[in-house]
Structure formats: structure tokens, C-alpha cells
Amino acid sequence: MMVIRKGIAVSPGISIAEALVIDCEDYRIPCRTIEPGQRIVEVQRVRSAFKDAVRELTELAAAQDQASTGKVQDIFAVHLRFLRDRSLRKEISDMVRSQSVTAEYAVYTVLRRIAAHFTHVKDAYISERAADIYDVERRLLRPLLGRRREDVDHLTKEAVIVARELSPTQTASFKKQFVNGIATDVGGRTSHSAIVARSLGIPAVVALEDFSEQVRPGDTVIVDGSRGIVIADPDPTTMTEYRRYLQEFYALEQRLDAVKAEPAMTRDGTRIDLLGNIEFPEEAEDVLDKGGDGIGLYRTEFLYLSHETDPTEDDHYNAYAKTIQVFPSRPVVIRTFDLGADKYTQRKRFMPERNPFLGLRSIRYCLQNLPMFKTQLRAILRASATGKVKVMFPLITNLQEVRQAKLIMRDVMEDLDEDGIAYDKDVQVGIMVETPAAALTAASLAREADFFSIGTNDLTQYTLAVDRGNELVSTLYSAVEPAVLRLIRTIVQDAYKARIEVSVCGEMASEPEYVMLLLGLGIKTLSVTPPMIPEIKQIIRSVTLEQCHLVARKVIAMNSERHISSFLRSKAREILPEAF
């Protein structure tokens, strides 16, 4: 039966394919006690779960044998060793017998206890092994809970991924060739998984309540990432309608192709720098293809997120050099690690903080992990010899942090001098303005920074006290709330007074209806998600700066987000009707 759900549109486009339903990664097993007579049955279930898991893993290892690297095989071997360990199985069975609990609860409790033990070991290599224990736990729980293993890595045909939740790392590992669309129960418009989906160009809708429970694997699913609608098992009329939408979407994309080679210049001749946001070096090519002028935000933490081990200085260098190669004479803004909050290293993944968005995140994390920070800075500086690199520090809240980060960078420069290694001695160092604290002290921060980039995703969340990834409060999250706009205006004015460049790299810059407002507020550099470059460029080329100033003046005088939003939408519709 057809199921229609309205959620939050996070990545535009339409996809129609069979559903691949992914398990919730983190099972929570309630403690259920059993009748003493049941114990023998539960112990038997433990035994067969181990048998199933070993068989599954052996098959997987054999299938991977040819293609995979030694590293993958090593991981399989470690997991198999755990599963074949008799004392582990005995400990779980003993718990079922002595405490009369279900097999799944005993598996869950025993493995979590072991994982916690690993997590607290100071040695990084050992504490990272906690990830393996969780993987083994999931493998054992899946047969016990009667869930089939759905494996995205082994997709051989196009599919729509349906899940309760996806981590940024999971989303980043999707192959665009097979993953056609994404639909998740939770999430917000600027959560990092959504950002990754956008930059991969995969249509996505989030905040769909219990959609993942309504869909059966193999159902046909339509993801309408432009309107924020998903449909499972569509009827023939709906299918016909959506096939037509798909044609229209392609037609718009083709029309916009014409604009790619043109400059991002307003009708009255103001040149705007239209840059791209990337998470991986490979995306730099997309930015170039779409007609972007350089890289305005390279989210380097993804280098950390997709590997089990920390990247080496050469891993960093190679990634940066690869990006610069695509834009040898254009700006490439490399942001230092923005780890923490919803982006954990493999090691920290199982040590959640109480309030992670207010916790040890970003520049704070770097300043407390100096060897890691210095390794990254050294690689960025080495890469700066090959292009026009700019360094950017995220989540600044006070002057001290900028000074400290710059001091560390100077240390690294001295080391490079001593080693006779080349780097750009005039490399520009800027900061992200993405906290109200930084916005309100922008005038003094501007004396320490060569440029500002406004991170509206975080600025909105911290100003409005609305978690950017929480669907329960998503209607309160808007970058055009008067409070946020006033801060943006302050930042731009202070940057102008200090004569430093100011850009916007938050998702706000990728929204067609906000372009006129941002230009009108004085922004001359926008950094956007690569697939949106042509559309944003088309808008820039269709307006005059004077029109934009008028729009901004009107908006700043308004005191309701609803009015601002609808005013901006109607203005953008006048400019580019076919996009809406």
C-alpha cells in the first residue's frame, strides 16, 4: 500500500528506486527476564547466533578475498577470533543461566562491558578496538533480533537508502553510482549527513518519523528531495507524475549548463567569487565542472572520519595537493579539523559527551591535541607552496583561541624553516565566525584574522539555541531569523571597517532565495555546495547590486521570520521562476 510522508528536503532532485533498509546502528536492548524453563532455549539461541555470525563473516571474508586490501582481511580475522573465543560465548551463556535474561540482553551487556573496558585504556590503538567489539555485537544481535544484514558496500544496482539515522561517515561512504536517494527518520537540514548528501548530489529527505519501519526492503521508493516528500510503493498515477517531474528536473539542469562557463557577475558588473564547499579532494573536480571559482571551505575532518587510523602528515599533504592541483591559481580555503559534536574520530565514536555541540569540538579539540593539530598544519603549509592556500580556524569564540592557534602555526613554520622545507610565508589565516560570541566581538577578532567566513549553520544553531540536526525543533531553525541576520550584518560591517574579506560558507549561501539578501548585505564571496553552483550563479547574473541592496534594507527592517522568508521567496521566484 502506498505510504506518503512529508519530511525536510535536504538535498534536491528526484530518485526512484528499490529501497535498501539499513538497520539502526546502535541497538538498545531492554532487560527482559525469562521463566527458568526458558533458559535452555535462550542458551541455544546464543549458540546459533554465534554460528550464524561466524558463517556470515567467513562468507564475507571469502567474497572480499580477491578485491580487498590486507587491512580489511585483518579486521575480519580479528572479528572471527572474537567470535570463536569460547570464553566469550561461555560468559554470555552463563549470564542467561544465572540471571534468567534473554540471549540478546546477555550479548548486549557482556559486549558493552568489554567495549567500555577497551574505551578507557589510554593507548589509542587499544581504545580504537572498541569499534571492533561493537561490530561483533551488531553481528550477533542481528540474527537474534531477526534482522537481515543489508550491506550498502555490496550494492550492485541502484537503490534508495532508508534508515532511521545515518552518520556523516556512513553517508560519505555511499557510492553515487548505486545510491540514488536517501530517506531517514531523523535529522535536520544542516546536519552533517545532510550536507554530505547534498555535496554528493544524492536527493535526500530527513525527519520522516517512522518511515524506515513502514518500508519493506525491495519496495519501490520515490525520494523528492526538492519538495521534501517520500513515497513508498507508489500507485501508477503517482509514478507517472514523478517520471514527469524527473524529466523537468533534468531539463532545468541542462538549461543551467549554459551558465557554467560564464563569470559570476551581477548585471551591473560586480564580480562575485563563487566558490565550492568540499569534504573530499575528489570533489574539487565537481566544483570546477560546475563552474566554481575555487574552494571556499574544505572540511578536512572527513579525512579523519573515514579511516580507522589517524591520517599521517603525508595523507594530509596528498589530499591537499590533489585539491590544489585542480585550482592551482585560485583560492583553496583549508579549514582545520572540525571534529567533535556530530563528527567523531573512530576512537571517540563510543565516548559521547553530554552536550557535544557545546563540548570539546573543533578548534578546542585541536588546541588540546597539539601533535595532531601540528601534523595537519605542517601538511597544509607544505601544500601552500603549490598554490593559493588559505588556512581557516573553525568555531572561534574568543581572541585567545585565535592567538594560540596562530602561535602554534608559527611554531610549525619555524620547524619547516629549520628543515629547509618550502611553504607560502604570506599564507592568509582566517577564522570562521559561527558563534554569537565571535560575531559580537568581530571588530577585535578582525585585527587577528586575514579574513572571515560566516558559518551560518552553526551561527543559526547557537544564536537560536536550536540543535541543527534535531527534527523536533527544525521549524525553529532558520538562518533568516532577525536575530541571526543582525549578527550577520554586524560581522560584515566589522569586516569592512577592518578591510578584511568576508564570505559566507554555511548552507545559507546555497539557498537560491537567500542570494539577493546576502549580496545586499555586502557579501562578495559565497561558498556553496557544488551541485548548486550553476543555479546560484544564474541568480547572481540575473540581478543588480542595487536590487539586492533594496531587498536587504527591507528585510533588515522586518521583525518576523515568516514575512522575511516569504518576501525572499517571492523575490527569487521573480528572478528564476523555473527553479521553484
DSSP label of 101: B
455 binding Mg ion? (CB under 5 A): yes
* Residue 434 lies near ligand PEP (rule: CB under 6 A): yes
154 among known catalytic residues = no
The residue among 195 and 272 lying less far from ligand PEP, judged by its C-beta, is 195
CA 350 to chain centre: 18
Q: Does 456 bind ligand PEP (CB under 6 A)?
A: yes
Applying CB under 5 A, what is the total number of residues that bind Mg ion?
3
What's the grid cell of residue 319?
Answer: 589530499
Given 79, 192, 316, 366, the catalytic residue = 192
Q: Is 505 known to be catalytic? A: yes
Least Cα distance to 127 among 339, 301, 287, 309 occurs for 309
Catalytic residue of the set 79, 316, 366, 505 = 505
Cell 587499544 found at: 126
Q: Are 435 and 490 in contact (CB under 8 A)?
A: no
- Stretch of 104-112, 321-329, 382-390, 456-464 lying at the interface with ligand PEP (CB under 6 A): 456-464
Q: Which residues of 203-218 are buried (b: 16+ CB within 10 A; e: fewer)?
A: bbbbbbeebbebbeee
What are residue 409's phi and psi, to 5 degrees? -65, -40
Closest approach of ligand PEP to the CB of residue 196, in Å: 10
Would you say 212 or 323 has its CB closer to ligand PEP? 323
Q: Let me know: does 533 contact 257? Beta carbons within 8 Å.
A: no
Which CB atom, from 338 or from 535, has the smaller least distance to ligand PEP? 338
385-444 binders of Mg ion (CB under 5 A): 434
In the complex, the smallest distance separating the C-beta of residue 341 from Mg ion, rounded to whole angstroms, is 9
Alpha helices in 395-481 (DSSP H): 399-418, 436-440, 442-445, 456-464
Decide whether 242 or 462 has the Cβ nearer to ligand PEP.
462
Beta bridge pairs of residue 101: 33
* Closer CB to Mg ion, 118 or 365, in the complex: 365
Separation CA 221–CA 229 (nearest Å): 11
CA 6, CA 207: separation in Å to the nearest integer? 8
Per CB under 6 A, the list member of 188, 331, 387, 506 interacting with ligand PEP is 506
3-state secondary structure of 117: helix
Query: Contacting ligand PEP (CB under 6 A), which of 83, 303, 409, 505?
Result: 505
Q: Judged by CB under 6 A, does residue 530 bind ligand PEP?
A: no
Minimal distance, residue 455 CB to ligand PEP, in Å = 3
**Is residue 279 a contact residue for Mg ion (CB under 5 A)?**
no
Task: Using CB under 6 A, pick the residue from 42, 150, 185, 338 that binds ligand PEP.
Answer: 338
Shortest CB 167 distance to ligand PEP, Å = 15
Site for Mg ion in 434-453 (CB under 5 A): 434
| Binder of residue 299, out of ligand PEP, Mg ion, none (CB less than 5 to 8 A by kind) | ligand PEP
Which residue lies nearer to ligand PEP by CB, 219 or 342? 342
279 near ligand PEP (CB under 6 A) = no
Residue nearest to Mg ion (CB): 458
Residue 191 interacts with ligand PEP (CB under 6 A): yes or no:
no
For residues 195 and 274, which CB has a smaller minimum distance to Mg ion in the complex? 195
For ligand PEP, the closer of residues 160 and 433 by Cβ is: 433
Residue with cell 576512537: 347
Sign of CA dihedral 397, 398, 402, 405: negative
Q: Contact at 8 Å (CB) between 431 and 446?
A: no
Would you give the end-to-end CA distance of the chain in angstroms?
30
Q: List CB contacts of 159: < 8 A, sequence separation 6 or more.
A: 17, 18, 19, 20, 178, 179, 180
Residue 183 site contact among ligand PEP, Mg ion, none (CB < 5 to 8 Å, cut-off depends on kind) = none
Size of the site for ligand PEP (CB under 6 A): 11
- Applying CB under 6 A, does 511 fall inside the site for ligand PEP? no
Please identify which residue in 11, 127, 345, 457 interacts with ligand PEP, judged by CB under 6 A. 457
The single residue among 42, 150, 401, 458 that binds Mg ion, judged by CB under 5 A, is: 458
Please, are residues 316 and 380 in contact by the beta-carbon 8 Å criterion?
yes
The binding track of 297-316 with respect to Mg ion, each residue x by CB under 5 A or -, is --------------------
Residue 188 lies near ligand PEP (rule: CB under 6 A): no
In the complex with ligand PEP, the residue whose CB is nearer, 376 or 457, is: 457
Q: Which option in ligand PEP, Mg ion, none does residue 201 bind, with CB closer than 5 to 8 A by kind? A: none
Smallest gap from residue 457 Cβ to Mg ion (A): 5
Backbone angles phi, psi at 391, to 5 degrees: -100, 140
HSE at residue 403, side-chain half, CA atoms within 13 A, is 6
Tell me the one-letter amino acid at 58. Answer: T
Instruction: Report the C-alpha gap between 97 and 92 in whole angstroms.
Output: 9
Residue 286 interacting with Mg ion (CB under 5 A): no
**What does 28-97 look like in DSSP terms, one character per residue?**
-----B--GGGHHHHHHHHHHHHHHHHHHHHHHHHHHTTTS-HHHHHHHHHHHHHHH-HHHHHHHHHHHH
Residues in touch with ligand PEP (CB under 6 A) = 195, 297, 299, 338, 434, 455-458, 505-506
Give the residue numbers annotated as catalytic, written as ranges: 192, 505
Residues that bind Mg ion (CB under 5 A): 434, 455, 458
